[in-house]
Amino acid sequence: MTILQMNFESQYLKSNHDITIILPNKPREISAKEFYESGKKYKVLWLLHGTYGDHTDWVRRTNIELYAIEKDLIVVMPSALNSNYSNWDKAMMGYGMYDYFTEELMPMVHNWLPASSKREDNFIAGLSMGGRGTIKFAVNHPDKFAAAAVLSAAPVDFSSLTEEELHKDDMFTRRLLGMVENAGGLETFVQSEENVWARLDKLAGTGQLPRLLFACGEDDTMIWDNLKRFRAHFDDKDIDASYWSLPGYGHEWRFWDLAIQHALEFFGLEDVGASPY
C-alpha cells in the first residue's frame, strides 16, 4: 500500500501544512520501470475531514486505503483545522482555506503527481464540516468536479439569517459569526460563496452542477432534519441530486465508512482488480 505524507509551506495558509495522499499500488507482476514510467494519469478523490479532525482521520478510522486501491484511485486528504473550509483573513496572519484548496492544493497535486486534472476524473467528498466544504466547492467550482458526495451535512438557507441568531452560545454559531465577520458583515456573507443554498437555486436547471449525493444516518440528530428541509425545497428543482440514508446510524464513523463506499459506487468508480497486498 502506498501512502504519501507531505508537509509544505502554504502560500494561502501562511504556515507549514500537512496532507495525506493515497496513491495506486504497483502490481507485483509489473516491473517498477514499466509502472512508474507509464505516464498514466489517475482519477482523484478529494476527501475532507470534519470538525476537530485532520488529514489522518479517514485513514485512521475507515478502510479508505483499501477502497482506493481497489478503484486504482488517488485520494487527497488535507487538514483544515475547524475552518469550515472558509477563508479566515483576520485569523493570525490569515488562513485562506477556501482559496488554498482550489488555487494551491489542486494545482500542486495535478502537476506534481500522476493525477488527472480532467473534470470527469475528479470527485469530492467529505463528512460533517467536510460535507459543507464539499458542497461549497462543488457549487462554486462546478467545472472542477464530475460529482460530489456530501456526507452528514446539508446546506441551510441563510437568506433569513438575523444578527440575533448569530449570538447564540454554541460552537457552531460562534464559527458562523466569525465567518460573517470575515465576509464583512451579514449582507456580504449572504451574497458570498458561503451561501450554498442560494448558489444551488441559481444554478438549478443550467446543467452546470456536478452530480450530487447526500448521505445521512437517519438517527443523526444534528443533520437529518436539515437534510429533510433541504430536500423539500430542492426536490422540485432541476439539480441532479441523489439521497442515501441508513436507519440506526447517527453522526459517526461507522456510517461514514459505509457512506464512502456508496459514494465511490455513485461516482461510477469500478473495481479494477488491484490487490491491496
Query: Given this model, what pLDDT does residue 169 score?
Result: 74
Q: Say if 168 falls within a structural domain.
A: yes
Distances (CA, A) of 30 to 60, 115, 142: 29, 20, 37
Query: Given this model, what pLDDT does residue 240 score?
Result: 94
Cell numbers found for residue 264? 465511490
Share of the chain above pLDDT 90, in %: 78
Side chain identity, residue 63: N
For residues 203 and 142, what is the distance between their CA atoms, to the nearest angstrom? 10
Q: Say if 57 falls within a structural domain.
A: yes
Cell numbers found for residue 201? 437555486
For residues 160 and 172, what is the distance between their CA atoms, to the nearest angstrom? 17
pLDDT band with cut points at 50, 70 and 90 for residue 65 = very high
Q: Name the E strands within the chain.
A: 2-10, 15-23, 44-48, 74-78, 87-88, 95-96, 122-127, 147-151, 211-217, 241-246
Q: Say if 272 falls within a structural domain.
A: no
Domain of residue 158, CATH code: 3.40.50.1820
Q: Say if 271 falls within a structural domain.
A: no
Average pLDDT, the chain: 93
pLDDT band with cut points at 50, 70 and 90 for residue 274 = low
Q: Say if 243 falls within a structural domain.
A: yes
Q: Say if 248 falls within a structural domain.
A: yes
Distances (CA, A) of 120 to 99, 149, 203, 220: 22, 15, 19, 32
Cell numbers found for residue 271? 473495481
Q: Of 2-11, 174-183, 192-201, 251-260, which range is least confident? A: 174-183
Task: Note whether 57 and 20 are within 8 A (CB).
Answer: no
For residues 133 and 153, what is the distance between their CA atoms, to the nearest angstrom? 9
Residues 6+ apart with CB under 8 A from 46: 76, 101, 106, 122, 123, 124, 125, 137, 145
The 3-state secondary structure of 23-45 reads ECCCCCCCCHHHHHCCCCCECEE
**78-127 per-position pLDDT tens digit:** 999 999 999 988 888 889 999 999 999 999 999 999 999 999 999 999 99
Q: Say if 275 falls within a structural domain.
A: no
List residues bridging with 46 in a β-sheet: 76, 124
User: How deeply is 9 buried, as exposed, middle or buried, from its count of CB atoms within 10 A (0-12, 13-18, 19+)?
Assistant: exposed
Query: Given this model, what pLDDT does residue 276 score?
Result: 57
Q: Say if 276 falls within a structural domain.
A: no
For residues 35 and 29, what is the distance between their CA atoms, to the nearest angstrom? 10
Other CB atoms within 10 A of residue 203 CB: 17
The total domain count for the chain is 1
Give the structural domain span for 200: 2-266
pLDDT score of 168 more than 60: yes
Which region, left, alpha or beta, applies to residue 14 given φ > 0 means left and ψ of -120 to 50 means alpha?
left
